[in-house]
Structure formats: C-alpha cells, structure tokens
Amino acid sequence: MPTDRDKLLREGSTDVFVCGDTTNIPISKAGSTAHFEADTIIDNLVSLLSEGRWARNYDGKVFCFVETGLSTGTYVWFDYKTPPNPGPPSQMIHWFKLAYNRLYWLSAKGLL
Ligand SMILES: Cc1cc2nc3c(=O)[nH]c(=O)nc-3n(C[C@H](O)[C@H](O)[C@H](O)COP(=O)(O)OP(=O)(O)OC[C@H]3O[C@@H](n4cnc5c(N)ncnc54)[C@H](O)[C@@H]3O)c2cc1C
C-alpha cells in the first residue's frame, strides 16, 4: 500500500495508518519493522486524540537478531539514515536471542 514513510499514513489519507508488510516503504519486511512502526503509530494516535498534535515521525528504525549457525548469532539495527552493520557473531548473542524471544512474548501478553 502506498505509504508516507514518516507518518505511516496511507498516501493521500489523513486518518488511515499502515503498518507491517503491507507498506511500500523502502526498508525490510520484518516482524521487528512492524513492531517499531506500531510503536510510532500508537504514540501518534494517543497524541492526536488527546492533544490534537503529532508525537513523532517514524525514522525507519529496525532491530533484528540474525542466527548465523546452530549456536551463534549476531544482530543488525538500521534506520532511514544508517545502513545495517552487523557485528561479529557470538554464542552469547545466540543465547540472548533465545531468551529475548521468550521475554518479548511474555511482555506482549502482559505477563511481565
Ligand atoms: C518464513 C519467514 C520467516 C521470517 N522470519 C522472520 C524473522 O526471523 N524475524 C523477523 O523480524 N521477521 C521475519 N519474517 C517476517 C515477518 O514474519 C513479517 O514481516 C511480519 O509477520 C509482518 O507482520 P504483519 O502484521 O505486517 O503481517 P502478517 O504477520 O502477515 O499478518 C497479517 C495478518 O492478516 C491476516 N489477513 C490477511 N488478509 C486478511 C483479510 N482479508 N481479512 C482479515 N485478515 C486478513 C493474515 O491471516 C495475517 O494473520 C519472516 C517471514 C517469513 C515468511
């Protein structure tokens, strides 16, 4: 869907927000992308409804773990201005990613 990359509005619309794989903004299609886009949209919805103003633009932020083997991993983060620059893989990052997966979903369910 044609999407304003800063406001995450459907192009030509003032009240239809777009998030996740369905946008056409020039960044990766990833769960992390949808997560950070949703954060921005929620902040803006709350601010528009309560104060009548935009809270912030989406800056293209994405943070992803990358598994590089059975027991090693690394991560990348990037935004519209900063290209991805993965660090050296390590076993610690792999284990952290496994723990983070569990913590993320416990948090999303409101259990943390
Ligand atoms: C094999 C694979 C591996 C991946 N691995 C990773 C990873 O390791 N890390 C990562 O960050 N991302 C990963 N991704 C990408 C990630 O899954 C997507 O970017 C993310 O799920 C997009 O979220 P979304 O909510 O935009 O879309 P979706 O998760 O696709 O959700 C869209 C939902 O809308 C529903 N739907 C569709 N049409 C209708 C309709 N007409 N009415 C009602 N409901 C409808 C669908 O059933 C679906 O539940 C992976 C994707 C694939 C395919």
As to burial, measured by CB atoms within 10 angstroms (0-12 exposed, 13-18 middle, 19+ buried), residue 83 is: exposed
Dihedral of alpha carbons 30, 10, 40, 27, sign: positive
Pocket residue to mutate for ligand 1, from 21, 65, 100, 104, most atoms within 8 A of Cβ? 21
How many angstroms separate the alpha carbon of residue 20 from the centre of ligand 1? Answer: 8
CB of 32 shorter than 6 A to ligand 1: yes
Query: Is this model's pTM higher than 0.85 or not?
Result: yes
Hey, what's the torsion of the CAs at 36, 42, 44, 50, to 10 degrees? -160
Q: Which pLDDT score is estimated for 90?
A: 97
- Per the rule left: phi > 0, alpha: psi between -120 and 50, beta: everything else, 78 is beta
pLDDT tens readout for residues 50-95 = 999 999 999 999 999 999 999 999 999 999 999 999 999 999 999 9
Q: Which of 1, 8, 18, 29 should be mutated for ligand 1, with most atoms under 8 A from CB?
A: 29
Q: Ligand 1 in contact with 68 (CB < 6 A)?
A: no
CA pair distance 112, 105, nearest whole angstrom: 9
Count Cβ atoms within 10 A of the Cβ of residue 63 and give its class: 0-12 exposed, 13-18 middle, 19 or more buried. Answer: middle
Answer yes or no: are the C-beta atoms of 13 and 4 closer than 8 Å: no
Is residue 76 within 6 Å of ligand 1 at its C-beta?
no
The residue extents of the domains of the chain are 20-108
